[in-house]
Amino acid sequence: MKLPELKIGNKIAKVPIQQGGMAIRLSTARLAAAVANEGGIGLIAASGMSHDELRYEIRLARSLTSGIIGINIMVAAADFAEVVRTAIDEGIDLVVAGAGFSRDMFALGKESGTPIVPIVSSVKLAKISERLGAAAIVLEGKEAGGHLGTDTSVRDLIADVSAAVNIPVIAAGGVLHGQDIVDLIKAGAAGVQMGSRFAACEESNAAPALKEYYLKSKPEDIVVIHSPVGLPGRAVRTPFSAKVMEGPVPPTKCDACLKACKHNFCIIRALTRAQQGDVETGLVFTGEYMPKIDKIMTVHEIFEQLKAEAEAAN
């Protein structure tokens, strides 16, 4: 199958692949721009960034590509609305919002004409999103990394959700190969979002030690923890995540970065430690199928492989 284009608002991606926004600071300008240069949609992970840092990353991405650049931001973040406004001020092409749901964000997008793309996991939220003005939705299944909204596979959700709405549905969770993309498009998806495959790529901003940790992970290493955000989260087992699964590891310092925090540990600091290569005391978010990835490739190599696999797919 020759992969179709993906249209969100007035933006058209030549390849229907959106790179997942992986926080903290795995998806920065270099990765997002590399994906955009291949014809996909590159996302900068805004969660945990200051507004100045986000402005810098968006401007840097713009200097590296003329392709489509968006941000991903946690709805659970205390400064969610301000982050969205900052990105819109910088002329971002779209805003993808997960880890919660906000009715208010659609008004922000409407004012500026910026496509708002919520991450949902049900027909109900898909319909609500469309009614409120979403330009598209990311439908995330249980295979996804990070915060989870369902225990159902995206493959079991896609047909019902895509039939229920008239906006593009981008399927996410467990997408690694061209055959996965073809299967999901045939089932009703307009495109796919891929995180894990890009977390361990050359342009990912993960420290080398974190990328190696991803490559060494085995299926039995993939666990689900309870995030302070109030949602389950999928991660690779580390000494820190093992500790968190046994009970709270209360933070010694709190920056009040979440609207509502369970305070069982500090998620921003734990994810930051992992991004910097500290896999002992860091939280390593991942998708269910990360153990299937066995080498670090460039974004260009990944796209070439995916397109070739899709062409050869049934």
DSSP string, 250-269: --SS----BSS---SS-HHH
Look up the domain containing 273 and give its range.
Answer: 208-291
Q: For the chain, what percentages of helix, strand and coil (3-state, to nearest 5) are there?
A: 40, 20, 45
Is residue 262 domain-shared with residue 185, that is, in the same domain?
no
Query: 1 lies in a domain?
Result: no
The residue-averaged pLDDT of 64-89 equals: 96
Query: 214 lies in a domain?
Result: yes
Query: 71 lies in a domain?
Result: yes
The residue-averaged pLDDT of 291-304 equals: 97
In angstroms, rounded to a whole number, what is the distance separating the alpha carbons of residues 187 and 126? Answer: 16
The residue-averaged pLDDT of 77-101 equals: 96
The residue-averaged pLDDT of 185-205 equals: 97
What separation, in Å, do the N-terminal and C-terminal C-alpha atoms of the chain show? Answer: 8
The residue-averaged pLDDT of 245-255 equals: 92
Q: What does the pLDDT read at residue 314?
A: 75
Is residue 70 domain-shared with residue 174, that is, in the same domain?
yes
Is residue 152 domain-shared with residue 20, that is, in the same domain?
yes
Query: 199 lies in a domain?
Result: yes
pLDDT at 175 exceeding the cut of 90:
yes
Is residue 275 domain-shared with residue 301, that is, in the same domain?
no
pTM of the model: 0.96
Average pLDDT of the residues of the chain: 96
Query: 92 lies in a domain?
Result: yes
Query: 184 lies in a domain?
Result: yes
Is residue 212 domain-shared with residue 231, that is, in the same domain?
yes
Is residue 10 domain-shared with residue 79, that is, in the same domain?
yes
Task: Give residue 266's Cα distance to chain centre.
Answer: 20
Q: What does the pLDDT read at residue 216?
A: 96
Could you read off the pLDDT of 202-223 as tens digits, one per residue? 999 999 999 999 999 999 999 9
Query: 61 lies in a domain?
Result: yes
Q: What does the pLDDT read at residue 89?
A: 97
Whole-angstrom CA distances from 185 to 169, 180, 314 are 9, 9, 12
Q: What does the pLDDT read at residue 98?
A: 93
The residue-averaged pLDDT of 33-56 equals: 97
Is residue 231 domain-shared with residue 83, that is, in the same domain?
no
Is residue 246 domain-shared with residue 195, that is, in the same domain?
no
Could you read off the pLDDT of 107-120 as tens digits, one per residue? 999 989 999 999 99
pLDDT at 106 exceeding the cut of 80:
yes
Owner of token pair 């933006």: 11
Q: What does the pLDDT read at residue 113?
A: 95
> How many domains does the chain contain in total?
2
Is residue 28 domain-shared with residue 86, that is, in the same domain?
yes
Check which CATH number belongs to the domain holding 163 and give it.
Answer: 3.20.20.70
Query: 82 lies in a domain?
Result: yes
Is residue 53 domain-shared with residue 201, that is, in the same domain?
yes
Is residue 72 domain-shared with residue 137, that is, in the same domain?
yes
Is residue 162 domain-shared with residue 69, that is, in the same domain?
yes
Share of the chain above pLDDT 90, in %: 97
Tokens of 294: 């066995």
